[in-house]
């Protein structure tokens, strides 16, 4: 059977991304996701960066939309979560996701958390086993963190606001202060997000970036400013003490690749894909 157009990868993609990320992995009939080469080294982790494929949602959320707040049928979103849980072999009810608010708030997850009561925050951290942590995105960055010495995982949501507020600093501080991590033991993988190719921003964002001394992440093209969020995230990770070899960043732009990923910038009303990480 011919691969549906939305799932084909062009030659340019397959050359660039696979130095870092394992090729789209087909599970079940249609569900496909990426795995980080950095995190895939650890047998005690389950993780994935999902794509649009493999769910039950109809347009404009087709098909593996995982977010309840975007206007999709909530029953279908539940089914999508069940499908992903089944594919990755975890219990959906134990999964913790977030009411993401573009903040720099980090929440420590315990056994008291569950699927039906997502905390309001933009990062989750835990050393508890068998609790999958999920971050949902459509152009923003999904960050997955792991310390194999203290056995601690975290996920974070960082778009422009999260990057400007340096949520990374808070996540890494939480590893160190709450879980006794050494910064050099922390690995970080960042999934596909909107690239500087597509992320045009207005003068007000330029001014804000300037105030925060983040102009290095902006470039001007045809009189307009474009923001490179990954450049900020990489800088902040290094400033937080994460070693270069422990940082992995997808070079895929979710807006350029709107057939593969949900893109808010490209489509407005759309679904959310995710990064999910579990310790076991």
Residues that bind Zn ion (CB under 5 A): 195, 197-198, 253, 255-256
Q: How far is the CB of 139 from Zn ion (least distance, A)?
A: 10
Cβ atoms within 10 Å of 226's Cβ, excluding its own: 17
Instruction: Output phi, psi for 11, to 5 deg.
Output: -60, -35
Q: Which is nearer to Zn ion, 59 or 197 (CB)?
A: 197
| Residue placing its CB nearer to Zn ion in the complex, 115 or 226 | 226
Beta bridge partners of 138: none
**Could you give the CA distance from residue 138 to residue 108 in angstroms, rounded to a whole number?**
24
Query: What's the CA gap between 216 and 95, in Å, rounded?
Result: 37
Of 22 and 198, the one with the shorter C-beta distance to Zn ion is 198
Cβ proximity to Zn ion, 159 vs 195, nearer residue: 195
Closest to 57 measured CA to CA, from 69, 70, 73, 33: 73
The two beta strands, 224-227 and 200-201, are antiparallel
Q: State the nearest-atom distance from the C-beta of 113 to Zn ion, in Å.
A: 35
- Complex with Zn ion: residue 186 or 194, whichever CB lies closer: 194
The least CB distance from residue 240 to Zn ion, in Å, is 27
| Cβ burial 97-129 (10 Å sphere, 16+ → b, else e) | bbebeebbebbbbeeebebeebeebbbbbbbbe
In the complex, minimum distance from the CB of residue 261 to Zn ion, in angstroms, rounded to a whole number: 11
β-pairing, 186-190 with 247-249?
A: parallel
Taking CB positions, which residue lies at the least distance from Zn ion? 253
CB-based contacts of 58: which residues, under 8 Å, 6+ apart? 76
Compute φ and ψ for 59, nearest 5 degrees.
Answer: -55, 145
Nearer to Zn ion, 56 or 139 (CB): 139
Q: CB 258 → Zn ion: shortest distance, Å?
A: 9
Give the shortest CB-166-to-Zn ion separation in angstroms. Answer: 24
């Amino acid at each position: 059977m011919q691969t549906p157009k939305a799932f084909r990868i062009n030659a340019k993609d397959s050359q660039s991304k696979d130095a870092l990320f394992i090729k789209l992995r087909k599970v079940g009939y249609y569900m496909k996701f990426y795995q980080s080469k950095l995190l895939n080294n650890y047998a005690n982790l389950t993780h994935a960066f999902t794509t649009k494929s493999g769910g039950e949602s109809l347009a404009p959320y087709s098909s593996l939309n995982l977010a309840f707040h975007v206007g999709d049928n909530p029953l279908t979103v539940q089914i999508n979560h069940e499908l992903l849980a089944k594919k990755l072999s975890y219990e959906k009810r134990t999964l913790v996701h977030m009411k993401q608010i573009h903040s720099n708030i980090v929440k420590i997850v315990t056994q008291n958390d569950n699927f039906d009561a997502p905390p309001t925050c933009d990062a989750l951290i835990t050393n508890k086993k068998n609790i999958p942590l999920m971050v949902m995105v459509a152009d923003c960055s999904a960050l997955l963190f792991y310390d194999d010495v203290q056995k601690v995982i975290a996920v974070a949501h960082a778009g422009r606001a999260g990057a400007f507020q340096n949520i990374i600093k808070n996540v890494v501080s939480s590893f160190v202060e709450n879980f006794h991590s050494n910064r050099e033991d922390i690995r970080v993988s960042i999934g596909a997000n909107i690239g500087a190719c597509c992320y045009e921003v207005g003068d007000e964002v330029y001014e804000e970036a300037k105030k925060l001394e983040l102009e290095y992440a902006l470039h001007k093209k045809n009189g307009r400013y474009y923001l490179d969020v990954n450049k900020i995230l990489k800088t902040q990770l290094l400033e937080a003490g994460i070693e270069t070899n422990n940082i992995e960043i997808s070079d895929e732009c979710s807006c350029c690749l709107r057939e593969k990923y949900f893109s808010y910038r490209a489509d407005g009303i759309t679904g959310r894909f995710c990064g999910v990480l579990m310790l076991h």
